[in-house]
Amino acid sequence: MAPSPLILGIETSCDDTAAAVISNGKLLSNIVSSQSEHEAFGGVVPELASRAHQRLIVPVVETALEQARVTRDDLNAVAVTYGPGLAGSLLVGLSFAKALAIGLDIPLIGVNHLEGHIYSLFIAETHPEFPFLCLIASGGHTQLMRVDKGLRYTVLGRTRDDAAGEAFDKVAKLMGLAYPGGPAIEHLAEKGDPEFHRFPRTRLPGFDYSFSGIKTSVLYYLNGFSDAERKALYAEHLSDLCASFQEAVIDMLVQPLRRAVRETGISEIALVGGVSANATLRGRLEALAKQSGGHLFVPDQAYCMDNAAMIAVAGNHKYIAGQHSALTLTVEPSLSFA
């Protein structure tokens, strides 16, 4: 085994085409090309995403290698997301990675995208002590995990319907805001009153989540106004509406975690996935961790949204542990932890 493996990571599970190079655990490059073709649709269009990945995969990988000042021949392994995600999008990344692994005669390492988000915590030098609680909140997933030594995971709870980021995206679309909705809503919410309107919070037993109710209640609330009234409401209170909605989602994300801290006695908390970019959510979880004598860990902003650095880091760990994948590996759009 090479003492300092040089690994290429590839991530194409949704609408970001990404490649990163890591050497001996140190990140040398991290390239993400976010597809703009979905903006007009207020959400990701799977067919457009896979076509864009086909167009972007070669230049994105080439740029990642160039920036890292290495060539394909220097690589010891290629790590790639094989699920969960959009089938057509995953297929582009996995097929490219397989071709590279075969052509260069190096190992292929399949990485679970959600596991990748957890590994994003290990890009920085400071990371949580085991065991820790990890909330994965993205556009496609909302899961609460317990992570033990050796990165062994237990799923404590998951969403029964929409993901938290999906709720941000769908509500932003209802209010005519840009995609992705999370940053747009957070930006407006900064100037808004979170108590302007109290949207009902869905609370489930245990540690599960549900975000379809909040989306419907925003829809019903907005439909209660005539077109003219709604226009006036947006003109005067759009930021208040965003703040009220954001507050409800954050309450619903924090509550199961608070219960998990109480029931497990674990106060080291990590927040990963696109929604972890939200400063109000970070603040709330930081307070929760502090109250219980622990700490909150969040990846740097560049590693919150989908990226290949997290896939390369996961690949590095798996390479060292000798966990290679067979070349018969196939995409698993509905892959989960359990």
H helices within the chain, ranges in order?
Answer: 46-67, 87-104, 113-119, 164-174, 181-189, 212-223, 227-264, 279-291, 309-320
Q: How far is the CB of 138 from ligand KG4 (least distance, A)?
A: 3
What order do you get walking across the sheet with 269-272 strand by strand?
A: 152-158, 142-148, 132-137, 269-272, 296-297
At 153 the three-state DSSP class reads: strand
The residues in 263-302 that bind ligand KG4, with binding defined as CB under 6 A, are 273-275, 277-278
Whether the CB-CB separation of 197 and 246 falls below 8 Å is answered with no
182 binds, among ligand KG4, Zn ion, none (CB under 5 to 8 A by kind): ligand KG4
| Distant-in-sequence, close-in-space partners of 37: CB < 8 Å, separation ≥ 6 | 45, 48, 52
**Of these, 182, 192, 194, 315, which contacts ligand KG4 (CB under 6 A)?**
182
The residues in 103-142 that bind ligand KG4, with binding defined as CB under 6 A, are 138-140
Using the contact rule CB under 5 A, the part of the chain among 134-142, 182-190, 233-241, 253-261 near Zn ion is 134-142
42 touches ligand KG4 (CB under 6 A):
no
Q: Is 264 exposed, middle or buried (0-12, 13-18, 19+ CB in 10 A)?
A: middle
Whether the CB-CB separation of 267 and 289 falls below 8 Å is answered with yes
Q: How many residues bind ligand KG4 (CB under 6 A)?
A: 20
Q: How many residues bind Zn ion (CB under 5 A)?
A: 2
Residues 338 and 333: their CA atoms lie apart, in Å, by 14
Nearer to Zn ion, 57 or 308 (CB): 308
Q: Is 319 exposed, middle or buried (0-12, 13-18, 19+ CB in 10 A)?
A: buried
Structure tokens at 167: 């709720």
294 binds, among Zn ion, ligand KG4, none (CB under 5 to 8 A by kind): none
Q: How far is the CB of 139 from ligand KG4 (least distance, A)?
A: 3
247 touches Zn ion (CB under 5 A):
no
Structure tokens at 37: 């073709």
Nearer to Zn ion, 186 or 240 (CB): 186
186 binds, among Zn ion, ligand KG4, none (CB under 5 to 8 A by kind): ligand KG4
46 binds, among Zn ion, ligand KG4, none (CB under 5 to 8 A by kind): none
305 binds, among Zn ion, ligand KG4, none (CB under 5 to 8 A by kind): ligand KG4
247 touches ligand KG4 (CB under 6 A):
no
Strand-pairing partners, residue 18, are 11, 32
Nearer to Zn ion, 35 or 138 (CB): 138
The torsion of the CA quartet 99, 34, 136, 318, rounded to 10 degrees, works out to 30
| Residues at the contact surface with ligand KG4, assessed by CB under 6 A | 14, 138-140, 165-166, 168-169, 180-183, 186, 273-275, 277-278, 305-306
**Positions in the binding site for Zn ion (CB under 5 A):** 138, 306
